[in-house]
A and B are shown apart, each in its own frame.
Chain A
C-alpha cells in the first residue's frame, strides 16, 4: 500500500493536468475528429470521342497543428507515428522541410479540345516536380537537391536530373496551394502566401523526356494503406494502365483548411492516377465495364478507408435521353446538376454500402443502345494553349505560343515558359498578335512580365507573364532564339534525336462549370461530399439550401493549369567520330613533323671521309651518311 498510493497520486495528478490541458486547448482551438483518415474514389467519364476517362484519387489526411502561430506544416514533429500516412513520404517531408510537394508523372498528351480539363491538376508530358520548402535556415538549395535525389530513389525515376540548369523559381505561377486551398470562397481572397510567418521558397523543375512505366507505379502503389490488395486500388494493373492514350500519376502533399476560418488544418496526401482508355480500339464497340477497362474487379472496399466511392459522370446526349444503360443502377439514384447545356448527371456508388450487403465483386458497365450516338455534347474548354517552333536550320529558330480564349469574358491568366539555356532567347524580338493583328500597346494584354535570362550551363531562361486575355480571342506571342553549339560531351547518347524542351504552363482562374471533368480539381471529393450533405439537407428543409448552393456556385472559380505540348529541338550535332579522326590525324602529323624536324635540328650533318666514318661516329651517323 505504501508503494502504490504515491503512484496513484502521481497518476491521477498527471491525468488531471492532461485533462486541464485538453480542456484549455478545446477552448481555443477545435480539434480534429480523427487524426488520420483515408478516402478512396474513382471517377469515370465517357469522353466525347468515345474514350473513357478514369481518375483514381486516394486521399490520406493527417491532423496537424492548429492555427497560424503554431502551424509548421509538414516540417513539424507530427511524424512520429505512422498509421495510414506513408512513412517514406513523411520522412522526406520532415528531413527536407517540405511544406508542400507536387510530383506528377505523365505519359501521352492530354487533348484539351476534345476532353476538356482533367481533374488532376497537372497534365504536362514527362515528370513535373514542384515544392514549397521552408527557408528558415537558408539551406534551400541543399534541401532541394536532397529532395530530388531522394524522390528519384523512391520512385525509380531520374529526378536527380532536375539540377540547377533546370530548376526555376516562378514568381506568379505555382502558388502555395496549401493556403489557397479551401472550399470556402471568401478565404481565397483574404489569404495569400505572403502573410505567412515562415519564409517559404518555391522550387520547380520538369523533365519532359522521362518515361513512365511499371517501375514508377510499383512504389506509388506501396504508398497506399491497402496497397493494391483491396479497394479501388485493386484495379490498378500496369498492363492495362500503360496501354492507354494518356496516363498520369501524381503525389500531392499540401495542408488544407478543415474549417471556414482555417483554424484547423490537416496535412493532405493526394495520390491520383488518370488514364484515358481507348475502348473502341479493339472491337469498335463503345460499351465498357470495369472489368473490360481494368481486367480486374473490386472484390471489397479498403477496410482502412473512411469512404470508398465510384462516381460516374454520365454522357450528356443532346437529342434523346436514355440512349445508354448503366448497370447496375445506383442505389441513391442519379444526381443532376446544372440545367440546359450545362446539365450533368452523376451516378455515385458507395462501395462501403455495397459491400456491407453483398460479397460479390462490384460490377459496373455502360452499354449503348444500338450504336453510340454522335450527339454526345461537346466539351468546349475555356482556354487552350498551343506552342510550336518556327524557322528552320540549325542556327536559329523561333518560338510561337497561341492562347485561345473561348470564354465570353476576359480572363486573367499567368503564362510560364521555361527554356533551356541552349536556346538563347532575344527578348527584343518578342511580339504579340491579337486576333492576327500585331499589338503596339502590349500593356493592355501583358500586365506583368518577368524574365530571367539564361546563364550558360547553370540556369534556364524563364519567361513569366500575367495576362489579361480578351473575350473570344486568339493571342499569339512570338520570340526568336539562337541555338547554341554544344560541347562534344554535352550531347545526350541519342543526340540526333534532338533535345526535349518542356511545356509551357498557363494558369487561369476559370468560372466553375458543371460537366467539365476538371470540376473542382483535387477538391472535387470535398465538393461531392458537401453536395451530398447539402442534398440531404435540401430534402429535409425544402429548396432553400439548393438556392443557396446555386448562389454560391456563381462566383466560384477553379484554378486550371493548361499545359502545352513538349517540343523537340534539334541542335547542331557534331560528327561524334571526329575526336578520333583528330587524334589520329594529329598523331600522324606530329610524328611525321616532329621526326623530321627533330632530325634536322638535332643531328649534325657533316661530310666525312668514307675510310674513317665507322670509327668516329655511331650508327646514326651511318644513316646520315646514307642519306647524303
Chain B
C-alpha cells in the first residue's frame, strides 16, 4: 500500500492566453477523503480537475496523484482515476451496457473482467433495467448515472466528478448523492459543485475557490464555527427604542446594531459584536438591571451560504 497522499498539488498555476485561471494553488487530499471544490463559475474548479486528470498541462507547479506526476506519468495517473467531466459528455448513439463495456475495455480491463465490472457498476448505479436502452434517449438523471458508472468501472483509486448533480431534479440529486457517499472509504472522491448544501452533506472537507485561488479549506463544521464568531445576536426586548439605542451605543463590544419594532410593544434588536465577542450575557444583565422584559435571545448560526458569501465577498470588492 502506497502511503503518499492521494492528491498533492503544489503551487499550481494555469494561464490561458490572456487570463490566469489558477494562481499558485496548493492542497493535499488524503486517501478515502471526500473533498468538495466549491466556487462560482469561472473560479477554477474545472481547470483544476482537468489538470489533475491529465487533460490539460499546468503552466507551472506540480500535481501528483498517488505519488505520480500527472504530466510526466500521465498514463499511470489516468489508470488510477475515474473522471467525469462537466456536462457529462457521452456517446449518445450507444447503448448503456455497450458504452460501459467499451469504456472498460478502453481502460484496459480484460474481456471477462470488464463484463463482471460492467454488471457490478450497472447494479451499483441502478442502471440494470436500462442497460439495453440507447443513451441519447435516457433522462438526464440516468445519463448522469451512466457517467458515474463510467467513472467507477475500472475501480479507480481516485474519482473526480465535475458538477455531478447539475441539472438534476431533487430526487435524482438525492440518489446521486447517496451513491457518492457510499464510495467514501474505499475511494477518494473530489467533487466540484456550486451548491453549498450539497458539499455540506457529501464532503468531509471543503475547499472554497475564487478567482483561481483557494480561499478556505476545512470541514464544513469548522468553516461554520470560524464564521459563527461573526454572527449576530438577536434580542427581543420590551423597552423604548431610544433607550435601547443609547444602551447599545454605550456598550463597547457592540460594533453595529439595528432596532426595529415588532408586535406587543417589543423591539427586535440585531447586534453585531466586535471581535467575536458573545454579547448574550451582557444583554441579559442589561434587561435584568433595567427591569425590561426579554422574550428572545439567540445567536444566529451562520449557514454555510453566509460563510461562503463572507469568504468570497471581500476579494470581489478588492478587485472592483
A binds B: no
Which B residues are within 8 Å of any A CB, using their own CB?
none
Which A residues are within 8 Å of any B CB, using their own CB?
none
